[in-house]
Amino acid sequence: MSPTQAVFRREFGSYFATPLAVVFIVIFLMLCGAFTFYLGDFYEAGQADLQIFFRFHPWLYLLLVPAVAMRLWADERKTGTLELLLTQPVTLWQAVLGKFLAAWAFVGVALALTFPMWITVNWLGDPDNGVILASYLGSWLMAGALLAVGSCLSASTRSQVVAFILTVVACLLLLLAGFPLALDPVRAYLPQAAVDAVSGLSFLTHFQAITRGVLDLRDVMYFLLSIGAWLLATVLVIDLKKAD
Amino acid sequence: MIEASALRKRYGRLTAVDGISFKVEPGEVLGLLGPNGAGKSTTMKMIAGFLTPSEGTARVYGHDVQDDSLAARRVLGYMPEGAPGYGEMTTRGFLGFIANMRGLSGDQRRQRLDFVIGRLSLQPVVEQAIDTLSKGFKRRVGLAAAILHNPSALILDEPTDGLDPNQKHEVRGLINELAEQRTLLLSTHMLEEVEAVCTRAIIIAGGRILADTTPAELLTRSRYHNAVSLHAADSIAARAALDGMPGVSGFENDAREGRLYVFPQGKGKLAEPVAERLRQRQVAYSDLRIEHGRLDEVFRRITTEAQA
């Protein structure tokens, strides 16, 4: 077994060794349902698709993904297991990747458990399952990008609460980067090209593009590159702050 | 073999480790001794590959900890201070994880797990979460994790700190056993531990090596080394009898113990002449013995002289 696999298995198992897994999954599923049916007026919309369901995912992730990510490194630092982990024959990259993939897989499990929604729309009507599949993939990719942000911020502190709050704020900014709320202050100082660059960073823009059913390689690449960049940042942060 | 050459670690303006060099051969147990904050842990963390040295380097069985870090870590077992473990995991789960990290598989994996669980008497707690273990068991799990891959070199950071006397005894017995065929480096601030397990001791303070020698040689540096102590009902008479005797450099009366210490001049032997003199002068005494020396006194002198 490679060290990455070993780290992955331990981390993934640890979610289920604590109440975190159950609490997270139950709340995620309840909120998914509540948002879709009550806030989204799923029935009144009269459409057999999952557009409404996916529309709320970024906002659910905004709260729930930081809760999964916050313990990734902050806890290791606090309990001293960071030292144990990094004195095993494992590279920093392998450790970072193993832990990230475990968290991503865990969110993937939670997402997969929303399958009754998919069954429901298929039973009620005749939805475009290609679009739904693309949307699921987009949702999972976005969750991965948010988790990678959380991984990096979790590595920067020994406090899970600080990690949580920093991640929520960072994720909010990244989600909203394409919206006037985030863009207007920037527009006053920067040239149009820079404003476009900032708006291009928005997770939301790329996610919405995917949920419309257009699985553009650029959107997929955007999320994968985001994940890679934030994981690289995680490696750098851990390396710089080992002694703390 | 563990070799540190001119290891140095700076944190901003603070120099935690200031040019430490030593070499530990197989079969040796080297104790790093020093007050809190002396740089013991930082030195060990650099050799274990956790911290990057600011200058200098270390080698574990020829593998440089910076250029060939993974190979160095493979031959090394390391127990960090306090023996940290993943609290939510069971003992078995945790050791299994370490086995996976160490690339053990199949029969070998099973054998090594069985061996360390048996050797450290972990059977009663294999299914228990690490968070719920007593300090003694937690330390044993940490030791088990460090020796699981049967490493040639072992670094233990304060292996007996915070344990009760029975647990200390047990862990020291294990260290003595592990020391055969292996290179062992441990840190401690307990002096009796040095006498109990180490073949060599290095005293560190302020990030520098102040002494590098055997525990026996350290004892000879004590002013109590070769002194004679005795119990005399009338200590004033005893002192008067011995006063001015050739070869005696001074006295000390320990009121709490009720013992009189007689210090020799140079390396002279005093036991026989002192006994003879007291008999001649008809001073009653009992329990006369030769002192070996006191490590705590040597330690205090060496480390405080360095600060002055």
Q: Which amino acid is at A5?
A: Q
Gap between the Cα atoms of A136 and A112, Å rounded: 9
Q: Tokens in use for B156?
A: 């233990």
Closest in A14, A87, A88 to B88, CB measured: A14
The tokens of B98 are what? Answer: 């370490």
CATH of domain B2-220: 3.40.50.300
- CB proximity A192 to B under 8 Å: no
The total of other beta-carbon atoms located within 10 Å of residue A185's CB is 10
CB-based contacts of B245: which residues, under 8 Å, 6+ apart?
Answer: B273, B274, B277
- Shortest alpha-carbon distance between residue A74 and chain B (Å): 13
pLDDT value of residue B106: 92
Which residues have a Cβ under 8 Å from the Cβ of B275 and sit 6 or more positions away?
B288
Are A69 and A154 a contacting pair, CB within 8 Å? yes
Given B78, B80, B100, which is nearest A6 (Cβ)?
Answer: B100
Count residue pairs from A and B with Cβ separation < 8 A. Answer: 72
Could you tell me if B109 and B162 are in contact, meaning their C-beta atoms sit under 8 angstroms apart? no
Calpha distance A157→B88 (Å, rounded): 21
The torsion defined by the Cα of B215, B217, B220 and B226, in degrees rounded to 10, comes to 80
- Rounded to a whole number of angstroms, the distance from the CA of A41 to the nearest CA of chain B is 41
More confident residue, B276 or A95: A95
Domain(s) of CATH 3.30.70: residues in chain B = 228-291
Judged by CB atoms closer than 8 Å, whether chains meet at B80 and A83 is answered as: yes
Chosen from A5, A78, A83, A235 to mutate, greatest number of chain B CBs within 10 A = A83
Say whether pLDDT at A198 is over 80. Answer: no
B101 with A5: Cβ contact below 8 A? no
Whether residue B81 and residue A10 make contact (CB cut-off 8 A), yes or no, is no
Chain B residue numbers touching A5 (CB-CB < 8 A)? 100
On whether any CB of chain B is under 8 Å from the CB of A93, the answer is: no
Using the Cα atoms of residue A151, residue A155, residue A158 and residue A162 in order, give the sign of their dihedral. Answer: negative
Rounded to whole angstroms, how far apart are CA atoms A160 and A96?
A: 17
Min CA distance, B28 vs chain A (Å)? 22
CA distance B269 to B276: 13
Contacts 24+ apart (CB under 8 A), B137-141: B137/B91, B138/B83, B138/B85, B139/B83, B139/B163, B139/B167, B139/B171, B140/B171, B141/B83, B141/B85, B141/B91, B141/B94, B141/B95
Residues from chain B contacting residue A13 (CB–CB below 8 Å): 89, 93
Residue A243: DSSP 8-state: T
Is B80's CB within 8 Å of A18's CB? no
Residues of A in contact with B49 (CB under 8 A): 86-87
Token representation of residue A78: 């606090």
DSSP state string for chain B? -EEEEEEEEEETTEEEEEEEEEEE-TT-EEEEE--TTSSHHHHHHHHTTSSPPSEEEEEETTEETTTTHHHHHHTEEEE-TT----TTSBHHHHHHHHHHHTT--HHHHHHHHHHHHHHTT-GGGTTSBGGGS-HHHHHHHHHHHHHTT--SEEEEESTTTT--HHHHHHHHHHHHHHHTTSEEEEEES-HHHHHHH-SEEEEEETTEEEEEE-HHHHHHTSTTTT-EEEE-SSHHHHHHHHTT-TTEEEEEEETTTTEEEEEESTT---HHHHHHHHHHTT---EEEEE----HHHHHHHHHHHHH-
Candidates B202, B136, B218; CA nearest to B174 is B136
Given a contact cutoff of 8 angstroms between Cβ atoms, the answer to whether A96 and A151 are in contact is yes
- CB within 8 Å of B97: residues ≥ 6 apart: A6, A9, A10, B86, B89
> Do A86 and B49 count as a contact with CB atoms less than 8 A apart?
yes
Two structure tokens written together for A155: 């590595």
**CB contact (8 A) between residue A84 and residue B88:** no
**Chain A positions in Cβ-Cβ contact with residue B48 (cut-off 8 Å):** 83, 87
Is A79 an 8 Å CB contact of chain B? Answer: yes
For A189, the 3-state DSSP assignment is coil
Query: Which chain A residues contact residue B101 at CB under 8 A?
Result: 3, 6-7, 88-90
Minimum distance, in Å, between the CA of residue B80 and any CA atom of chain A: 7
Q: Do A84 and B85 touch (CB under 8 A)?
A: yes
Topology of domain B228-291, CATH: Alpha-Beta Plaits (3.30.70)
- A13: nearest CA in chain B? B89
Q: Residue B78: which of B96, B118, B51 has the closest Cα?
A: B51
The answer to whether A129 faces chain B, any CB pair under 8 Å, is: no
pTM of the model: 0.88
Question: Cβ separation of A88 and B101 shorter than 8 Å?
Answer: yes
Which residues, at least 6 apart from B256, have a Cβ–Cβ distance to it below 8 Å?
none
Q: Which residue has the higher pLDDT, B112 or A178?
A: B112
Chain A CB contacts of B132 under 8 Å are none
- Bridge pairing between strands B228-231 and B286-290: antiparallel
Chain B residues within 8 A of A3 when measuring between CB atoms: 100-101, 103
Selection from A107, A102, A106 nearest residue A73 by Cα: A102
Digit-by-digit pLDDT tens for chain B (308 residues) are 999 999 999 988 889 999 999 999 998 999 999 888 889 999 999 999 999 999 999 999 999 999 999 999 999 999 999 899 999 999 999 999 999 999 999 999 999 999 999 988 899 999 999 999 998 899 999 999 999 999 999 999 999 888 888 888 888 888 888 888 899 999 988 888 888 889 999 999 889 999 898 888 888 888 888 888 888 888 788 888 888 788 888 888 887 888 888 888 877 777 888 888 888 888 888 888 888 888 888 888 888 877 66
**ipTM for the assembly:** 0.87
Q: What does the pLDDT read at residue B256?
A: 84
* pLDDT tens readout for residues A20-41: 889 999 999 998 888 887 777 7
Q: Residue A149's pLDDT is what? A: 95
Look at A14 and B103 and tell me if their CB atoms are within 8 Å: no
Other Cβ atoms closer than 10 A to B297: 16
Q: What is the pLDDT of residues A117-144, one digit of tens each?
A: 888 888 888 888 888 888 899 999 999 9
The tokens describing B281, both together, are 């002068």
Calculate how close chain A gets to B146, using CA atoms only, in Å: 9
HSE-up of A81 (CA within 13 Å, CB side)? Answer: 22
How many CB atoms lie under 10 A from the CB of residue B261? 17
Contact B179, B27 (CB under 8 A): yes
List residues of chain B with CB under 8 Å from any CB of chain A. Answer: 11, 45, 48-52, 70, 73-74, 76, 78, 80-82, 84-89, 93, 97-98, 100-103, 105, 129, 145
Chain A residues touching B129 at Cβ < 8 A: 17
